[in-house]
Amino acid sequence: MSTSINPLITVATFGGQSKYSQDFQQVLTRAVQLQSLNLQNLQIQQQNAQAQQNALQSLDNTFTGLQSAVAALSNATGLASLSTSVGNPSVASVSLSAGASTGVYTLEVTNLGSRTQTVSASGFQTVNNPASQNISSASSFTLTVDGVNTSVTPAQSTLQGLVDAINGSSSLGVTASIVNVGGSSAPDYRLALQSKDLGPVSVQLNDGANDLLDTVATGTLASYKLDGLPTSITSNSDTITLSPGVTVNLLGTNTGSPTTIAINQDTTAIQKALQSFVTAYNATADQLGKSHGQSGNALQGDSVLFSAQSALHAINGYTGGSSSPLSFLGLDLDNSGHLTFNSTEFQASASQGFSALSSYLGTCTSGFIQAANSALQNLEDPVTGAIKNEEEQLTASLNNLNSTIGDQVDYINNFQQTLLTQLSQSDAAIYQLEQQNTFYEGLFNTNNKNSNGN
């Protein structure tokens, strides 16, 4: 039976025939054990390096989370700080994007507008099954939208194939569908095209011989008035731009009853972002603490811990341009090294106005956000960051150890096979001598008995 002395090495069973077979097995086992000492040392190094890598990755994850929390603070002073309200929600809805700012507008929608509707004309091929038939036998069509011609070639010569070909290109300016104008008992499927833009858009489809569409309804432009101005504004879309970053979707008319649209700014998003920042900071401090003390993890004593602690000190010790501590944001550092959020302090600062908080927080190039980002970049920069560099070094070390361990296993297995062959040869020779010795002893005993008998 084979003997395992290492998860990667198994000592072969020596199957000799001489009386020294068990001794040879012990020799083989002991020799492999001695050869495995270096392998065991390598495996210990591997385990230590893996433990360091795991602990470092856990620390890296918390600092990455802290970076995200700082980024959220930056967002909280921008678009996230804005909210919208519409006096009459049935008239319009509002969405914001980059560039939006506070403001109040009045909106009067006099016409929602409509889209041009067309349907394939009667008198051409009747389609009872759109999956196998088409309104024309042509293989290619010309679609004309407001004078712009586009060739349309369906993959399948069916009505469904024609619809798919038209809808497959978003630049054609129309959407296609199939409509049954004949009822369920005698289906008559037609091609229906609707302009994407509002207004009197001309739409036609030609199969090379005939114009295939009848106009059911000609579209009209949307119209509205802003801020009480007497002049109406027309639009070929029901989505309009009120100001940079402020988009309004027209939902209904309110002629003669303008509604108010307000873009407001408040500190709610900042407060939520600060609370999330506190959570992320404390998680990082806790993870860093796991590397200290008698029960510290595998990073204990590593120089990267000093860099990590310095980053936290740079963040919790920040003071603003007027030497205001972090308590201006409602952030207080307790004796355990954790941050707490003090809503009373925060509200006191918020009462000074949004700009006071925004100025203290700053941007990626100023204020607390810049200071926090700079401290974290010293750890997390992909090229120069202390944590990232050590992770790369540990990965390279583990790769080298894995390769060296593999080579060592191969060496021990080859050594064992060579020794096994040599011991087997020795055992065979001894066994042969034992057999000869047994033969001569028997012959001597026989001769001795014969001599005594005479």
* Collapsed DSSP state (helix, strand, coil) of residue 150: strand
Taking residues 333-342, what's their average pLDDT?
A: 96
Q: Which residues of 371-384 are buried (b: 16+ CB within 10 A; e: fewer)?
A: bbbebbebbbeeee
Give the pLDDT confidence of 421-446 residue by residue, as tens digits: 999 999 999 999 989 988 888 888 88
Residues in Cβ contact with 119 at an 8 Å cutoff, skipping those fewer than 6 apart: 179, 181, 190, 191, 192, 193, 213, 214, 216
Beta-bridge partners for 323: none
Give the pLDDT confidence of 183-227 residue by residue, as tens digits: 889 999 999 999 999 999 999 999 999 999 999 999 999 999 999
What's the rounded Cα separation, in Å, for the pair 409 and 43?
Answer: 11
pTM as predicted: 0.73
Which tokens go with 72? 């959220």
Give the pLDDT confidence of 225-246 residue by residue, as tens digits: 999 999 999 999 999 999 999 9
Taking residues 296-310, what's their average pLDDT?
A: 94
Task: Phi first, then psi: give them for residue 176, nearest 5 degrees.
Answer: -110, 150
Taking residues 268-287, what's their average pLDDT?
A: 97
What's the rounded Cα separation, in Å, for the pair 179 and 254?
Answer: 33
Residue 374 has what pLDDT? 96
Given a contact cutoff of 8 angstroms between Cβ atoms, the answer to whether 222 and 234 are in contact is yes
- Name which of 179, 150, 145, 176 is nearest 161 in CA terms: 176
| Cα end-to-end distance, the chain, whole Å | 53
Q: Taking 80 as the threshold, does the pLDDT of residue 360 lie above it?
A: yes
Given a contact cutoff of 8 angstroms between Cβ atoms, the answer to whether 140 and 212 are in contact is no
What's the rounded Cα separation, in Å, for the pair 421 and 412?
Answer: 14
Give the pLDDT confidence of 79-136 residue by residue, as tens digits: 999 999 999 999 999 999 999 999 999 999 999 999 999 999 998 999 999 999 999 9
Which tokens go with 200? 């009197």
C-alpha 259: how far from chain center: 42
Which tokens go with 42? 């390598």
Taking residues 289-304, what's their average pLDDT?
A: 92
Give the pLDDT confidence of 134-188 residue by residue, as tens digits: 999 999 999 999 999 999 999 999 999 999 999 999 999 999 999 999 988 999 9
Residue 2 has what pLDDT? 59
Residue 4 has what pLDDT? 65
